[in-house]
């Protein structure tokens, strides 16, 4: 590939308008290599200039690098100018905005840029003094009455990435049409070098107030529980330790090699508790210290995965759906019906339907939403618990309107302590739930792509020629367009939901089977997985 004049001129303009000396030099070097014919350089330049990054309901995510198709100070500056304009248009000029960050590459510079753009635009800006978990930012938006919150984080994305997550005045993540309005405001923003910036944001620390709230969760009277935990090189270790201490859980063991924030994530390929191998060190530690429970946080600590000891002595991580129904049933058992007579629990269309059966048995309301916590926290009044199978748990919607790994981990420790005092384990609870409501087994087929167009092609294929049978069962197709790019295939005891990931270059299929016995359910799930893999081949 050669560098044509249009690409060259576009790169020169971006360099001229980039206020960051470091990324100006970076893109100049890439451009010089491309013009000099160095192998791969023209492709690299074209990819960097293929942006801008699209601003969606999950905000921005992309590799930290120079150019419009990356996360850098110039992109963050123009994005924040668009957010400022959007807030002003909606009558929030001069109001309070909170800015937080994780410890990834570029996070401090990006948070500073966002805060200075908002300050120059006349907003009352408050910033955190250090990298903190995303749930603390979500908490701060509600507690301070802010009209928006910005967290610089790429959550559990690969080490090369960073991101920009936006919360609105409700304390939850934005939903349409806000994303489209902000995208248009960003497009109309001036070049980054022309966007005014000013220091002066106030430094605030709400961690103690957040920890006080976590300690009020229904943790039960028992505290004798040994927990092994990991922060996966993210920002959650200190906050988790403080939350446990505040709540009275003192027997916590952290994976030393993963405790300190490190943006290179040296011990894991992908810093996501769902990924194979990511929790190996955690489970080794759990075995070494004879723990009662293992806990893995993702890098910004909004997700929480639980690990348990099987009856044969081996440790394994629970699936997100297992954790969801385990904690959901516990939360429902703690609700004071004199205060909240009609509680609501919620999950998404791709999660296990067992939570609905539990809610029915408990006389509670149940809702299913589209994927994402932006929808779950808007499921309805009286929400006491929400989860999604991708390890997102909200056990505390009263003070954090988003998933919260710290609060979920603390509640899980309380549940494990109570079960230990009774001579029981989380696996006993899961078996009891299966006996009452049927065995619900879930699985996922995830196809990672390098060309995003492949996802659309496969979705079109499923819509055009849907299978008549999956897992030995006749199925029918339901298309959720235009509300969501999702298809659902359902039959007797079988459900498959297929959708493109909103945050990763993947096409995902979520599988569920329901049966009366575990062996029969497992056999059907194995057959279903094989059929779905063939469908998406």
Secondary-structure breakdown of the chain: helix, strand, coil percentages, each rounded to the nearest 5: 40, 20, 40
H-helix segments, 266-353: 280-288, 320-334
Strand partners, 254: 229
Using CA atoms, how far residue 195 sits from 52, 106, 112, 125, 232, in Å, is 17, 19, 14, 17, 36
Cis preceding linkage at 52, omega within 30: yes
Residues 7/9/12/18 CA torsion (nearest 10 deg): -80
DSSP 9: H
H-helix segments, 335-452: 354-362, 373-376, 405-421, 426-437
Given CA atoms 461, 466, 470, 472 in this order, what sign does their dihedral have? Answer: negative
90's tokens = 């909606």
Phi-psi region of 153 (alpha: psi -120 to 50; beta: other; left: phi over 0): beta
Report how far residue 466's alpha carbon sits from residue 455's, in angstroms, rounded to the nearest whole number: 16
Report how far residue 199's alpha carbon sits from residue 118's, in angstroms, rounded to the nearest whole number: 10
H-helix segments, 90-177: 107-120, 134-144
Is 112 within 8 Å of 162 (Cβ atoms)? no
Residues found in the chain: 537
Report how far residue 448's alpha carbon sits from residue 391's, in angstroms, rounded to the nearest whole number: 19
Report how far residue 326's alpha carbon sits from residue 426's, in angstroms, rounded to the nearest whole number: 7
Is 387 within 8 Å of 360 (Cβ atoms)? no
Active centre residues (catalytic): 155
| Residue entry with tokens 């309380």 | 414
Helix axis angle, 426-437 to 320-334, nearest 10°: 90
Q: Minimal CA–CA distance to 23: which of 83, 88, 74? A: 74
Q: Minimal CA–CA distance to 179: which of 58, 71, 68? A: 58
């Amino acid at each position: 590939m050669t560098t044509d004049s249009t690409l060259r001129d576009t790169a020169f303009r971006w360099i001229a308008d980039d206020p960051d000396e470091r990324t100006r030099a970076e893109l100049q070097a890439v451009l010089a290599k491309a013009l000099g014919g160095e192998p791969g350089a023209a492709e690299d330049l074209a990819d960097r200039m293929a942006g801008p990054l699209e601003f969606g309901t999950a905000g921005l995510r992309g590799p930290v690098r120079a150019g419009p198709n990356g996360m850098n100070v110039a992109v963050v500056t123009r994005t924040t100018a668009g957010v400022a304009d959007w807030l002003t248009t909606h009558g929030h000029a001069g109001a309070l905005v909170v800015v937080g960050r994780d410890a990834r590459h570029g996070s401090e510079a990006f948070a500073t840029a966002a805060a200075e753009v908002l300050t120059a635009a006349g907003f009352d800006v408050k910033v955190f003094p250090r990298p903190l978990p995303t749930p603390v930012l979500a908490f701060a938006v509600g507690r301070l009455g802010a009209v928006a919150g910005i967290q610089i984080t790429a959550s559990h994305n690969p080490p090369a990435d960073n991101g920009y997550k936006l919360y609105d005045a409700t304390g939850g993540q934005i939903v349409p049409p806000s994303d489209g309005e902000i995208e248009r405001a960003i497009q109309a923003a001036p070049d980054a070098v022309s966007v005014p910036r000013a220091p002066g944001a106030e430094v605030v620390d709400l961690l103690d107030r957040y920890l006080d709230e976590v300690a009020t969760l229904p943790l039960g009277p028992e505290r004798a529980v040994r927990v092994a935990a990991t922060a996966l090189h993210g920002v959650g270790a200190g906050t988790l330790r403080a939350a446990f201490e505040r709540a009275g859980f003192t027997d916590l063991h952290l994976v030393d090699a993963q405790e300190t924030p490190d943006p290179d994530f040296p011990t894991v390929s992908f810093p996501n508790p769902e990924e194979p191998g990511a929790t190996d060190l955690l489970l080794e530690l759990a075995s070494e210290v004879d723990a009662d429970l293992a806990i893995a946080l993702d890098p910004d600590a909004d997700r929480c995965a639980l690990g348990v000891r099987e009856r044969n002595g081996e440790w394994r991580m629970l699936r997100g759906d297992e954790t969801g129904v385990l904690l959901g049933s516990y939360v429902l058992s703690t609700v004071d019906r004199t205060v909240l007579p009609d509680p609501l629990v919620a999950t998404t269309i791709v999660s296990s339907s067992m939570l609905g059966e539990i809610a029915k048995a408990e006389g509670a309301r149940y809702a299913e939403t589209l994927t994402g916590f932006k929808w779950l926290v808007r499921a309805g009044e009286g929400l006491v618990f929400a989860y999604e199978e991708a390890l997102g748990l909200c056990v505390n919607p009263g003070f954090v309107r988003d998933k919260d790994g710290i609060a979920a981990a603390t509640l899980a420790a309380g549940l494990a302590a109570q079960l230990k005092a009774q001579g029981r384990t989380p696996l006993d609870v899961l078996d009891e739930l299966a006996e009452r409501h049927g065995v619900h087994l879930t699985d996922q087929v995830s196809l990672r792509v390098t060309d995003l167009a492949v996802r659309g092609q496969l979705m079109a294929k499923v819509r055009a020629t849907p299978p008549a049978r999956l897992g030995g069962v006749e199925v029918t197709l339901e298309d959720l367009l235009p509300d969501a790019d999702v298809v659902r295939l359902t039959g007797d005891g079988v459900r498959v939901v297929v959708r493109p990931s909103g945050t990763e270059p993947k096409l995902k299929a979520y599988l569920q089977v329901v049966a009366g016995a575990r062996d029969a359910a497992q056999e059907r799930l194995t057959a279903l997985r094989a059929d779905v893999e063939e469908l998406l081949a």
